Structure 1
Amino acid sequence: MPLFRYTRAGQEPPVPRRHTPLPWIALIALILGAAALAFAWLAGWIGRDRLTAQRFTDTIEATGPAHPGFRRAHSKGVCVGGWFSPSAQAPMLSSARVFSQQKVPVLGRLSIGGGDPHGADGNARVRSIALQLVGDDGQEWRMAMNSFPFFAVPTPEAFFEQTRAQLPDPATGKPDPQKMAALLARYPSARAFQQWAKSAPWTDSWANTTFNSVNSFWFTNAQGNQRAVRWRWQPQAPVAELDADARGRADADFLEQDLRRRLNNGPVRWNLVVSIAEPGDAVDDPSTPWPASRSEVMAGVLSLERMQSQEQGACGELNFDPLILPRGMRGSDDPVLAARSAIYSQSFNRRERERAAGAPAQARETAR
């Protein structure tokens, strides 16, 4: 319809109606304002009490001395490389190509817990493995796994509370024991984790340590069947324990030295064991272990054949984000899993900036 029209003869035509631009200007301003608000929210400029990856990473950094160029956690480790060979049963779990091709190249990293890149191996209760598997279709499976079998707390908020409890008190230079006691009183899973730390064996090698996914994931096979799963790398090397006296006498780098000796004699291997959830299992809560009676599939073998220092190896260039997954796998709705992914990204970006700004050469060792 035209904006105006003439009437019958003898009548004055109506005054044309003009559309004012004000409503459109207001709409555009509203959209731009909402975008700016969202950006500020994500950047942490507003809602200062909101838990963001930036705030979380700041708190992790505050638990100890700064080490520019290093990852904020699991700061000490070595690069490793080798192959993954899937089993005949693996394709029943997932349609991911890494479960059907003969051999999958692996780049990874073995590390210890803590933020000190020069810490003593015998003092680290937690050990970790981070891996990148790349299928011949270009799809990647990245994972970051730990020696503990479950997470200490169930949510990112509780994880943040746990991290804050580890901050040194300015008066003593050490964490306030009352804050940790309050955390243990609030979360039964934290008490269970503490019991694991006291009673689980301290193995004498990365090679005989079991590494757990801790978080849950969903696998979908070629037939469209979906399963909630967790997995672990079960060592083929026999377990040998170290008591406290032996740990105290051991060299600060004994894990690296041991791995080098073992690799000189051939590959070091782990079996990939996938546990399948049953109805009622805690898929989205990493602090709740699944019963040992759950069905398991031996899905393949990891063979590590070589190692390099972090200065020379390629593992330092990778963010081992556990939500980088191939088709046929996806993350669960576990909020701790999403938080880990966001914090890893924040840590990676910070250390890349530090390295670009000329962080010391020794700080270019990077960790998960």
Structure 2
Amino acid sequence: MPTPTPRGPMLLLLPIFLILAVVAALFAWVGGWIGNRDLTPQKMMDTAQASGKQQPGFRRAHSKGVCFDGTFAPTPAAAKLSTARAFSQPSIAVIGRFSASSNNPYAPDGASPVRGMAVQLKTDDGQDWRIAMNSFPFFAAATAQGFQAMNEAGQPDPATGKPDPDKMKAVLAAHPEIAAFQAWAKTAPRSDSLGNTRFNGVNAFRLTDAQGVDRMVRWSMRPRAPFAAMTPEQLKSADANFLGEDLERRLAAGPLVWDMVVQIAAPGDPITDPSKAWPDSRPEATIGTLTVVHAEAQATGPCRDINFDPLILPDGIAGSDDPILHARSAAYSVSFNRREREISAGKSAYPTSQNGSAR
């Protein structure tokens, strides 16, 4: 009779081996060591740096920004959708950042229709939730490869000083969804205030309730101040920093408020493609209120050194398999590490405080 093979202990260890393999693969992908070797987070950040007047010590994208602080208060509907502590703690202090889309920290505020909002919430049980949103209703591309190709095609040709239109045609042929975003960018009105801008999380996340039921959602911050677009006169003559100046004026008069709303996916909705909006007919729930009470220059503000990684999530909320979501997380890490090295080396373009450190 053959000797029995001791399979029992090995089978018990198999799940551990699988978990370790997955973790190792994630670290390897973030480091750019496996997967599509033609595209790594480092290469994406290299392209971002080359696309404008990048300054050392600043974020590689959305470089221009202003810090804010305030509170987040959940609604009763929130706790029904997720066990996240942020949805049961009565009020949470938040640190956030408004931003522009350029990687030039001195770009005029009216240059782009895109505005950004990022928020960090730390609950009383020590959990951390970071949210990154933008004013566009859907993302430019379905994949990181498509987004990278669009950015590369948009860089000026050294011979002409302008992007090569044939390169962009080739990108659109390979990634046709980008055309919808380009059309939006050409026609979208530019808000005349951060306080009246709606910010959208275009990636999907999973909320899990107390019964273990999962729902896929996309969230947005919807301002209570009515939207107003920049006028043609403002587009021509507005001060380069008018959004920050307007924010200060509004906050001097009182807090600014946004309602956090989740849109709940139906079967068949594109969970892993942020370039496609879900139908407006999908059910929605207001899950909280963000109240902004104070703003401060990012050079001295508490948001400056925060990496608003959208995959830093609390229990009860999980990321989807959206490839753009995971690419953003990896790219944000590269951006954060680069600017921290520049600040530590004294190369930062930020103003210097009295003690000589970059602020």
Instruction: Classify 1:144/1:363 alpha carbon distance in 2 versus 1 (closer, same or farther; 3 Å).
Output: farther
Distance (Å, rounded) in 1 between the aligned partners of 2:325 and 2:260 = 20
Q: Name 2:215's counterpart in structure 1.
A: 227
Query: Which of 113, 129, 141 is the equivalent residue of 2:117?
Result: 129
Amino acid at match of 1:249: S
Matched, 1:218 2:206: yes
**Does residue 1:260 correspond to 2:243, yes or no?**
no
Partner in structure 2 of residue 33 of structure 1? none
5+ long unaligned stretches in structure 2:
1-25, 354-359
State the shift of 1:170 in Å: 1.2
Corresponding residue for residue 73 of structure 2: 85
Q: Of residues 297, 313, 327 in structure 2, which corresponds to 1:339?
A: 327
Report Cα offsets for 1:7-48 as digits up to 9, x if no partner.
xxxxxxxxxxxxxxxxxxxxxxxxxxxxxxx99987557999
> What is aligned with 1:271?
259
Q: Say if 1:256 and 1:64 are closer, same or farther in 2 by CA, change over 3 A.
A: same
The answer to whether the 8 A contact 1:67-1:363 is kept is no
Residues 128 and 145 of structure 1 are in contact (CA less than 8 Å); yes or no, is this contact kept in structure 2?
Answer: yes
2:87 and 2:95 map into 1 onto residues whose CA distance is: 17
1:268-292 Cα shifts (integer Å, max 9, x gaps): 0100010000000000110111000
Superposed displacement of residue 296, structure 1: 0.2
How far does the alpha carbon of each residue in 1:67-109 deviate from its partner, in whole angstroms, 9 at most, with x for none? 1001000000100000001111110111101111110111000
Cα 1:119–1:279, aligned 2, differ >3 Å: closer, same or farther? same
Point out where structure 1 has 5 or more consecutive residues left out of the alignment.
Answer: 1-37
Q: CA 1:364/1:203 → structure 2, altered by over 3 Å: closer, same or farther?
A: farther
Match in the other structure for 1:296: 284
Q: Deviations over 1:170-210 (max 9, x none)?
A: 11233222222332333332111122123322211011111
Question: Residues 185 and 40 from structure 1, CA distance in 2 versus in 1: closer, same or farther, beyond 3 angstroms?
Answer: closer
Structure 1 residue corresponding to 2:182, chosen from 194, 205, 229: 194
- Label 1:249 to 1:44 Cα distance change in 2 as closer, same or farther (>3 A): same
Is the partner of 1:192 in helix, strand or coil? Answer: helix
Aligned-residue identity in percent: 54
Regions of 4+ moved over 4 Å: 38-49
Contact 1:69 1:364 in 2 (8 A): no
Residue identity matched to 2:135: S
Of 204, 229, 245, the residue aligned with 2:233 is 245
148, 165, 174: which one aligns with 2:162: 174
Change (3 A) 1:276 1:268: same
The count of residues paired between Structure 1 and Structure 2 equals 330
Partner amino acid, structure 2, of 1:71: R
Report the CA distance between 1:49 and its aligned residue: 4.4
Cα distance change on mapping 1:41 and 1:247 into 2, 3 Å:
closer
Aligned to 1:131, what secondary structure does the other structure show?
strand
Q: Distance in 1 between matches of 2:77 and 2:56?
A: 44
Q: Could you state the TM-score of these two structures normalised by the residue count of structure 2?
A: 0.87
3-state SS, counterpart of residue 98 of structure 2: strand
> Which of these residues, 159, 182, 191, is aligned with residue 203 of structure 1?
191
Cross-structure match for 1:117:
105
Q: Which residue does 2:3 correspond to in 1? A: none
CA distance in structure 1 between the aligned counterparts of 2:316 and 2:33, rounded to whole angstroms:
37
Distance (whole Å) between structure 2 residues aligned to residue 345 and residue 220 of structure 1: 27
Change (3 A) 1:182 1:226: same
Distance 1:211 1:204 in 2: 14
What amino acid does structure 2 have at the position aligned with 1:279? Answer: P
Question: What corresponds to 1:351 in structure 2?
Answer: 339
**2:319 aligned with 1:326:** no
What is the DSSP-based 3-state SS (H/G/I as helix, E as strand, rest coil) of the residue aligned with 2:314? coil
For 2:167, give the aligned amino acid: K
SS, match of residue 142 in structure 1: strand
SS in 2 for 1:354: helix
Structure 1 window deviating more from structure 2 (141-150 vs 189-198): it is: 189-198
Measure, in 1, the Cα distance between the counterparts of 2:50 and 2:351.
18
In structure 1, the residue matched to 2:8 is none
Counterpart among 131, 136, 146 of residue 158 in structure 1? 146
Shift of 1:60: 1.5
Which residue is equivalent to 2:294? Answer: 306
What is the TM-score of this pair, normalised by structure 1?
A: 0.85
Greater shift, 177-186 or 134-143, is seen at 177-186
Decide which structure has the larger Cα Rg and report it: 1
